Chain A
């Protein structure tokens, strides 16, 4: 069994987990123009952008020899819950041969979850499974920590592009770590690399902070969101994302255990409930909650990313003017798909950064 997975964010983590469980892993290539072209060609036109890119990604993984695709499921009103069904049919119709293992929330269907878990773990002993999970969990936390640092340092780097390069190096360092000890060593090595990056001194009151919120795939995958974090970093802005893998995993596993669920994500959902009281699917409630949270934490602005035609995020977009007005925090909504032009988006982002800079400058004087 050669397994692959949808490409999203720091893929070294999924790769590691599957490897530690004794699987042969095929990492799909980073989404490129070819991935998008393939995805757009074989997907329904009105499907959302993530579905299209993942279609392309699956095809490229199968070309590289994958025969089993591992993905997460979904429930509730968002179309993401049907991804696996749609992908299965597209791949079948186009003559690609692959099996799917779909992980839904164990709370939804415990038996199926166990059945899938057994498929994935193969002959690996339960002891090894537990220790692998621990290692990977530890690794996610460390990588998220490092990424948060990267997103701050990038704004002040002296040599343009250096931080991004170091971040890529860090991911390949972690790719070689297989035990907790090795992860620890990788972490220290990475911290040293980050310390070596030369940065400009910028006074605290001159620093700009922007939070990125929105649908998880376009927020987490830089090749799809025209490298929004880098774009902002190059304009001298510190960035934080609404989604990090560690928070997401913690929240998902604890979501039905209200008493021990003390994650920040839970608070976010509560903050969002004031504006979107029910679950309308996707990350609409989280997006809104994060905007409130970024405001509470003194961020200067928020960029809201959504795939073109994403229903939950369209609802968010229509509530944003109200929130933005009430809390006095500027928000820029951008919708992304295969038609998105870089020049046009850059103009908007640049103007938005000017806007928050001006707003801040006035506040100081």
Chain B
């Protein structure tokens, strides 16, 4: 049976999914990246391979997320796509009439506006990590509340507290002040959720007409407190899709599938045994001019397969970068 793989290498988590011809998820894997994208993907692929039925053949592979280029070269991806297109593709497949997507991941947040399953507008946070997964993670740790219970605790709040949400540092000092005034943990967390959503809508939604159905996805969508805050802020129901935390990976798998069938070509996938190959990315500083670029060099079994991030193109032009 033909199957398609999507890998989303994010700053916080790495997701691998296998979908079938009808975009149904056969297998999925959610792992923490821990700053080691290569190792995480290798281990993830091994785990997925051990679960797969023998008759399943991977016919296309797509990568997305901040590590998309590097991992794309490692696995031999057919499509290397940005997160925005990948996320929109997955959502349009799962919620066909979606008009607005709120996506909050580990280190960035996006808003995507669609019309007839086409992306018509988008925005990404530009200024600061406020309101993304990493910050919530950090606050949960500081308050001694497991991140999994963070959202449900917010829902038990009795009173409203207003937390300054412009940036993480100010939000944190404001939270500490409010704690000292005697507000409960639940109330503080609830206030934080509302501040984040307010900030998100004001920052990313500026000048955009947001229409329902609204879909909320990304790792943070697990947080009921944030979902409730969204519903309160926009005064409308918000849909959290079944696979909310792996939408990027699903999207890249769909994109890879479509690419292969449209072009009528064979996949470049190196196979699951490629996890045993010696794959080493390294960086060196080029001192040939006053730009001092940090050039990334990727070697596979001792052979240079890709180089990039040089401004003049001296290195990147010698190797094909997908």
- By a beta-carbon cutoff of 8 Å, the part of chain A in contact with chain B is 29, 32-35, 159-161, 164, 223, 227, 318, 320-321, 330, 335, 342-344, 346-348, 350-352, 354-355, 358-359, 362
Whether, in the assembled complex, B203 has its beta carbon less than 8 Å from a beta carbon of chain A, the answer is: no
22 A-B residue pairings within 8 Å (CB atoms): A32-B290, A32-B291, A33-B292, A34-B290, A34-B291, A160-B316, A160-B317, A161-B316, A320-B207, A347-B83, A347-B124, A348-B124, A350-B85, A351-B82, A351-B83, A351-B119, A354-B119, A355-B120, A355-B122, A358-B118, A359-B118, A362-B118
- By a beta-carbon cutoff of 8 Å, the part of chain B in contact with chain A is 66, 81-85, 116, 118-122, 124, 126, 207-208, 289-292, 309, 311, 313, 316-317, 320
Given A330-B120, A358-B119, A347-B313 contact (CB < 8 Å): no
* Contact in complex: A164, B85 (CB < 8 Å): no
Residues of B within 8 A of A318 (CB): 207
Given A348-B124, A350-B85, A161-B313 contact (CB < 8 Å): yes
* Contact in complex: A359, B120 (CB < 8 Å): yes
Q: How many Å from the CB of A227 to the closest CB on chain B? A: 7
Chain B, interface SS category? loop
20 A-B pairs besides A330-B120, A352-B122 with CB distance below 8 A are A33-B290, A34-B290, A34-B292, A35-B290, A159-B317, A160-B316, A160-B320, A161-B313, A161-B316, A321-B208, A344-B124, A347-B82, A347-B83, A347-B124, A350-B81, A351-B85, A351-B122, A354-B84, A355-B122, A362-B118
Q: How many Å from the CB of A341 to the closest CB on chain B? A: 10
Given A321-B207, A335-B126, A348-B124, A29-B290 contact (CB < 8 Å): yes
Residues of A within 8 A of B320 (CB): 160
* Contact in complex: A355, B119 (CB < 8 Å): yes
Interface centre among A320, A348, A354, by most B CB within 10 Å? A354
Given A358-B119, A359-B120, A362-B118, A350-B313 contact (CB < 8 Å): no
A34 to B290, CA, bound (A): 6
Q: How many Å from the CB of A165 to the closest CB on chain B? A: 8
A164 to B289, CA, bound (A): 18
Residues of B within 8 A of A344 (CB): 124
A335 to B85, CA, bound (A): 21
| 8 closest Cβ pairs, A-B complex | A351-B84, A161-B317, A321-B207, A34-B290, A32-B290, A350-B82, A32-B291, A354-B85
A362 to B92, CA, bound (A): 15
- Find the B residue at minimum CB distance from A168: B312
Residues of B within 8 A of A321 (CB): 207-208
